[in-house]
Structure 1
Amino acid sequence: MKPAMAKLEFCVFFLLYLAINSNSANVDNIASELKFKNVDRTIDVTSQLVKIVSKITLENTGKSPVKNFLLAVEASAKNNLAYIGAKDSNSKDLRILETTVKGYDYVKFWRVELKEALDAGTSLYVVTEAVFTKALLPFPTAITQQEVQLVKYIGNLYAYTPYYVTSQKTVVNIKTKTVEAFTKVKPFSQQEGSIIYGPYPNTGPFTEKELSVHYKNNSPFLTVTRLERLIEVSHWGNIAIEEVVEVEHTGAKLKGPFSRYDYQQDHHSGPASVRSYKTLLPASASDVYYRDTNGNISTSNMKVKKDSVEVELRPRYPLFGGWRTHYTLGYNVPSYEYLFHSGNDYLLKMRVIDHIFDDMQVDEVVTKVILPEGSVVSKLLIPYPVTRLPDSLHFTYLDTKGRPVIKFVKNNVVENHIQDFQIRYTFPRLLMFQEPLLVVGFLFALFLLVIIYVRLDFSIHKPEHHHKD
């Protein structure tokens, strides 16, 4: 065999080996020796989000230590899942990775890696949290200005898990006395603001039974359909942030006419509408502006707190179901709080998104980071999966080559995604003087031209000199 052919064959087998191993790393098996000894679930449906917190006692009934376990989300809910996480008994985050299980393509799985292996015959306490968006359906879908908003939640009565569950209990928090209907599977009880199910003993893996609750929910059903976040970095001490926000009220649509007179006179009018909401900015934010296509919006208040700047945003008109608004919010922050450097190496550490309003849900976040001209990006670190868009250039005053723009997109965002991203890049510090030198050079050339123009005589006729007799 020729050396070239042997080398080519070796490369092919090596790439095939890497492909097989990379795929197998994302495939897990359901450990039969694991079981959930006890599960206490709390399903919070008091806002527009569905938040499920599960307190799990994990037991190893096998003969060897176990280093991880699986979480699962049923097919009917996996498209609404925005965030999932796990913590140990000390409230420290556990590493969680999306995975698959052969034969269960319709189920979404995550592998939770334990801090320490769970020995045979021992138990471990963990807490998991899952947040779902658009899992509450307005029912009816349209209401008048005076009516309250009723919504319906449809979920699973049991914890959906690939393991056997010895005992489980579920509490549904609704914080209202107005309950039209709910699933009744004994044992259950209804208290003020909550419905308690269980305990239910001995449920098998992947057990499903519909849980339905139809109740009053007048909390703000606001959805940010698109958020474009622009971060412009300057090495002269400032970082400018501007957000273009598109908001829609996704609750029950307004049926019939809208009366502004009734709305202003009666505070109980439009109970499901949104008059205003509060946005939280960094504590060092300054020069805040809030405007829409018509210009600056003056109906807003700003309050400086110890750890944040609270901005109450009040749109030009209240938002009812199906109504939309579009606005721009901008501010500046000092770069020394977010930009760190050693020589020509720089690290930018900022949030992917800020707090827009309580229990926010964002369909799409487009983040653009404009770095100084001459920067070369070496690494982009984001704490969760995003879609990286092609880099581009941004030109502004005195730019010659253009400023590099890093862009990435994240869909289905909630408050749990308010985390930091990092960009590492290099920037020759001498380039900081490029723009001042360009200004100085331009002014020097201008003054030189003025001097030349004044000193030289460009007239066609020579001036006549008169001599005295």
Structure 2
Amino acid sequence: MWKSVVVTLLLAATTLGAETFSKNLINKNVERIIDLSTQLVKVTTTITLENAGKDVETNFHLIPEPEHLGSLSHVSVKDALKQDLKVHQVKVDGKTAYRVNLRSNLAAGRTANVVVEYVYTHALESYPSSITQKDKQLVRYFGDHYWYSPYKTSKQTTAVTLASKNIESYSKLKPVSQTESTIKYGPYSDIDAFGIDQMIIHYENNSPFLTVTRLERLIEISHWGNIAVQEDIEILHTGAKLKGSFSRYDYQRDTSTTHHSIKSYKTVLPAAAHSIYYRDSNGNISTSQVRTRKDWIELELRPRFPLFGGWRSSYTLGYSVPSYQYLYKLPNGNYKLNMRLLDHVFDDMQVDELETSIVLPVGVQNVQVSYPFEVTKLDNEVAHKFLDTIGRQVIKLKKTDLVEQHIQDMEIVYEWSPHLLFHEPILISIALYAMFLICIIYVRLDFSIHSKKEEHSKKD
């Protein structure tokens, strides 16, 4: 009997503690903008939340469209003051959802405005999947006319921004209108929770469909005043594949600025970057150009050949920055490094896989790492550089499916003794001293077979 009572209490506690969707909240007004002008799908939604119940609400839930859940790369929410709200991925009723904590409690009968941003990668489908060198690139987008939400929506409008006014077709859930490269849907009223009505848009999009399939980022920290950064990058044109052979003659004659091939792209480097190099497997690529701007350095990268759909390329980019801009000494004597886990590769980039390695100075201890978002920490390694007898600790981090919104600083705090600066100079001094000593001893030694006395006696 007592066992059954305990089991009942445990089940009741589990049920009470389970996360559920609030029945008090409704979307009083939803204004959604879907940006389809690049290879990414960016959805910005302004929501007026209303508490129609009697209890105070402290959070609300978001659910991405089920069709694009696997393509969702970034989620962020801001309040009316444009301050970020904390977002946590959770499971509710077997569905993947995001719980958003409100900055202040939402009382009964009150409203709150929030702005939700979704960024999807690989959410546009090339249709047709293969095109010739002179064809335009057409893509299809499959979405939802309604804002997918666990709450009822009273009113909603949607504006879709396209890359071109050349539209093959689009779904027409009335009321709907088209102006140039913008399609407006709505207003729609009284939409049930989890309401779905498929949206299909087929249009021309010749923006660069360039994907970084793998990026290996190496950061070497030195207390001598320099931080060296090197990136090994593999890129792939993920647009419509090239059908037929490539003609260099036709390509050079084509003066169109809206071509689906990729001739070059621009990378943004820190303003203090110096000693910049850019090379591939054949050596340095001299066609690249470096332009100094006010707050950054613009590097125009031009591959050795234009990239069409399905074509790949790889290269290495490296530079150095002064350490005083990123490395700080704390009051307790520890050191703190603030540096980006991922940096800008090109506009509207999508990175399938990132692996960042941070090589710390010799002799660091008690390393603490803070991440701007969830990453996978790989096993630490030990690297041996020039004259390293102790070795340097290497922190390795991995992350998949990244976009520009992931360009954020990580924080590394560690203990380090300044006298270790003399570790390598002392080793060099000892090595030079030993070399000169060996030379002196070698010069003074006599390696002849006959002694000098025998030579003198023969002369006499």
Q: 2:304: which partner in 1?
A: 316
Per-residue deviation, 1:402: 1.4
Residues 206 and 258, structure 2, Cα contact 8 Å, conserved in 1: no
Per-residue deviation, 1:449: 2.1
Structure 1 residue runs of 5 or longer lacking an equivalent are 1-16
Identity of aligned residues (%): 50
Residues 145 and 270, structure 1, Cα contact 8 Å, conserved in 2: no
Per-residue deviation, 1:376: 2.2
Read off the aligned partner of 1:461 and give its amino acid letter.
S
Separation in 2, partners of 1:252, 1:457: 78
Deviation sequence 1:197-246 (CA, Å, 0-9, x none): 00100001111110000000000000000000000111111010000000
Q: Secondary structure at the match of 1:28?
A: coil
Q: Does 1:212 align with 2:200?
A: yes
Q: 2:403: which partner in 1?
A: 414
Select between 336-345 and 204-213 the one with higher mean Cα deviation. Answer: 336-345
Separation in 1, partners of 2:327, 2:52: 50
Q: Secondary structure at the match of 1:390?
A: coil
1:301 paired residue among 243, 266, 289: 289
Deviation sequence 1:32-52 (CA, Å, 0-9, x none): 111110000000000000000
How many residues are paired up?
446
Residues 163 and 207, structure 2, Cα contact 8 Å, conserved in 1: no
1:445 paired residue among 434, 438, 446: 434
Separation in 2, partners of 1:458, 1:429: 47
Select between 454-463 and 281-290 the one with higher mean Cα deviation. Answer: 454-463
Structure 2 residue runs of 5 or longer lacking an equivalent are 1-9
Separation in 2, partners of 1:379, 1:179: 52
Per-residue deviation, 1:423: 1.1
Pairs within 5 Å for 1:109-188? 109-188=97-176
Separation in 2, partners of 1:88, 1:415: 21
Residues 377 and 423, structure 1, Cα contact 8 Å, conserved in 2: no
Q: 2:47: which partner in 1?
A: 56
Q: Does 1:76 align with 2:67?
A: yes
Per-residue deviation, 1:74: 2.8
Read off the aligned partner of 2:351 and give its amino acid letter.
V
Residues 163 and 204, structure 2, Cα contact 8 Å, conserved in 1: no
Per-residue deviation, 1:353: 1.0
Q: Secondary structure at the match of 2:344?
A: coil
Q: 2:274: which partner in 1?
A: 286
Residues 375 and 425, structure 1, Cα contact 8 Å, conserved in 2: yes
Q: Secondary structure at the match of 2:63?
A: strand
1:45 paired residue among 36, 40, 50: 36
Select between 421-430 and 43-52 the one with higher mean Cα deviation. Answer: 421-430
Separation in 1, partners of 2:74, 2:96: 13
1:222 paired residue among 210, 215, 218: 210
Q: 2:82: which partner in 1?
A: 91
Per-residue deviation, 1:420: 0.4
Select between 311-320 and 166-175 the one with higher mean Cα deviation. Answer: 166-175
Separation in 2, partners of 1:458, 1:186: 103
Read off the aligned partner of 2:28 and give its amino acid letter.
K
Q: 1:461: which partner in 2?
A: 451
| Superposition TM-score, scaled by structure 1 size | 0.92
Per-residue deviation, 1:65: 1.9
Q: 2:316: which partner in 1?
A: 328
Q: 1:434: which partner in 2?
A: 423
Residues 352 and 400, structure 2, Cα contact 8 Å, conserved in 1: yes
Read off the aligned partner of 2:318 and give its amino acid letter.
G
Q: Secondary structure at the match of 1:299?
A: coil
Structure 1 runs of 4+ aligned residues shifted over 6 Å read: none
Q: Does 1:423 align with 2:409?
A: no
Pairs within 5 Å for 1:239-258? 239-258=227-246
Residues 29 and 155, structure 2, Cα contact 8 Å, conserved in 1: yes
RMSD: 2.0
Per-residue deviation, 1:377: 4.3
Read off the aligned partner of 1:68 and give its amino acid letter.
N
Q: Secondary structure at the match of 1:262?
A: helix
Separation in 2, partners of 1:456, 1:384: 66
Separation in 2, partners of 1:153, 1:129: 18
Read off the aligned partner of 1:300 and give its amino acid letter.
S
